[in-house]
Amino acid sequence: MKIAYVFPGQGAQYSGMGKDMYDQSEEARAMFEKANDILGFRITDVMFAGAEDDLKQTKVTQPAIFLHSVVMAAMMGDDFRPDMVAGHSLGEFSALVASKALSFEDGLRLVSKRAKAMQKACEAEPSTMAAVLGLDDDSVEEVCRLVDGVVVTANYNCPGQLVISGSIAAVDEACEKLKEAGAKRALKLPVGGAFHSPLMESAHTALEQAINETEFAHPLCPVYQNVTAQAVTDPVQIKENLIAQLTSPVRWTQSTLNMIADGATDFIEVGPGNVLQGLVKKTNEDVNVSGFEFKV
């Protein structure tokens, strides 16, 4: 039996997230307060009692989900014994910190810079994303190639569930063509921009220097990174893949299949929500999926 720990990305946030850990664990409280100091504002106030719109701000959302996930992993103590880890988009940073490839402080600083750079890229050029259901990967990729303008496959979430990303006009056209091609749904998402597409190039450039200046170590176990969906342990390769991530697709389906092929029988989601548990189960219904529940 091998255990894969997986870490969620943007969209898993909710008001009240992490308050139970803050209230009941001195170790967790110290990590949350350190995060407040590093970020320069009390992100805990927004996490614990903020309105939905407050939590949706990219500069808040990404550090909040990262913080919840890595604190939760720390709360597992000796029970956190991963054979492999992976994270969906933003969650890759959580996975790297939990597996000791990256320090908590450096991880948080990178996530904060990433969020601000992505927000700036979104404001520079209006763009969007759309979920596509009920169509195979090849068909979605082919439709995107036929559309004028920037539109690409951004997230391979599970078989029959992809997300496309690009300029508003190109995504609108692609959605119509995808429905004509047999998609059950092609629905625009309430996001601020075209994540994991060429339109994130300015954010990619801004983050590249910060990642290159950050020290990475060998992780406790293989990390299945979004860009390649392959197991990685070499710090240099980890950094290269992390730099490429913002403008490359999240190959979550492929990562899940590769983890299973390498022996994963149990997937434990660490962080807010249960989205990844559903995606893993839709990819292979025979594996065991669960979430970590914090208890004193």
Alpha-carbon span 213 to 207, nearest angstrom: 10
**What is the per-residue pLDDT for 52?**
87
Tokens 């597409």 sit at which residue? 197
The single residue of 88, 196, 197, 204 carrying the catalytic annotation is 196
Confidence grade of residue 296 (pLDDT, cut at 50, 70, 90): low
Confidence grade of residue 97 (pLDDT, cut at 50, 70, 90): very high
**What is the per-residue pLDDT for 281?**
97
The predicted model scores a pTM of 0.96
The single residue of 68, 69, 88, 89 carrying the catalytic annotation is 89
**What is the per-residue pLDDT for 191?**
82
Alpha-carbon span 76 to 69, nearest angstrom: 11
pLDDT surpassing 90 at residue 57:
no
Confirm or reject CATH 3.40.630.10 for domain 127-188, answering yes or no: no
**What is the per-residue pLDDT for 126?**
87
Confidence grade of residue 86 (pLDDT, cut at 50, 70, 90): very high
Question: Which carries the bigger pLDDT value, residue 52 or residue 185?
Answer: 185
User: CA-based angle 36:41:43, to the nearest 5?
Assistant: 65
Interval 133-156 mean pLDDT: 97
Calculate what percentage of the chain has a pLDDT beyond 90.
90
pLDDT surpassing 80 at residue 263:
yes
Question: Which carries the bigger pLDDT value, residue 180 or residue 295?
Answer: 180
pLDDT surpassing 70 at residue 34:
yes
Radius of gyration of the chain from its Cα atoms, rounded to whole angstroms: 18
Interval 31-44 mean pLDDT: 97
Q: How many helices and strands, by DSSP H and E, does the chain display?
A: 13, 11
Domain definitions of the chain by residue range:
2-123+198-291, 127-188
For residue 33, the tally of other CB atoms under 10 A from its CB is 13
Lowest mean pLDDT among 63-77, 128-142, 189-203: 189-203
Catalytic residue status for 99: no
Phi and psi angles of residue 109, each rounded to the nearest 5 degrees, phi first: -60, -40
User: CA-based angle 36:42:43, to the nearest 5?
Assistant: 85
Interval 75-99 mean pLDDT: 96
DSSP 96-113: HHHTTSS-HHHHHHHHHH
Interval 129-156 mean pLDDT: 97
* Residues 230, 258 contacting (CB under 8 angstroms): yes
Confidence grade of residue 173 (pLDDT, cut at 50, 70, 90): very high
Instruction: Give CATH superfamily name and number for 2-123+198-291.
Output: Malonyl-Coenzyme A Acyl Carrier Protein, domain 2 (3.40.366.10)
Interval 111-124 mean pLDDT: 92
Tokens 């999240």 sit at which residue? 250
Alpha-carbon span 258 to 12, nearest angstrom: 24
In angstroms, the Cα distances linking 176 to 129, 153, 193, 218, 281 are 14, 15, 19, 45, 29
Calculate what percentage of the chain has a pLDDT beyond 70.
100
Chain mean pLDDT for the chain = 95
Alpha-carbon span 85 to 98, nearest angstrom: 9
pLDDT surpassing 70 at residue 223:
yes
Catalytic residue status for 25: no
Alpha-carbon span 110 to 215, nearest angstrom: 11
What percent helix, strand, coil does the chain show, rounded to 5?
50, 20, 30
Give the relative orientation of helices 201-212 and 235-244 as an angle to the nearest 10 degrees: 160
Handedness of CA 179, 184, 188, 191 (dihedral sign): negative
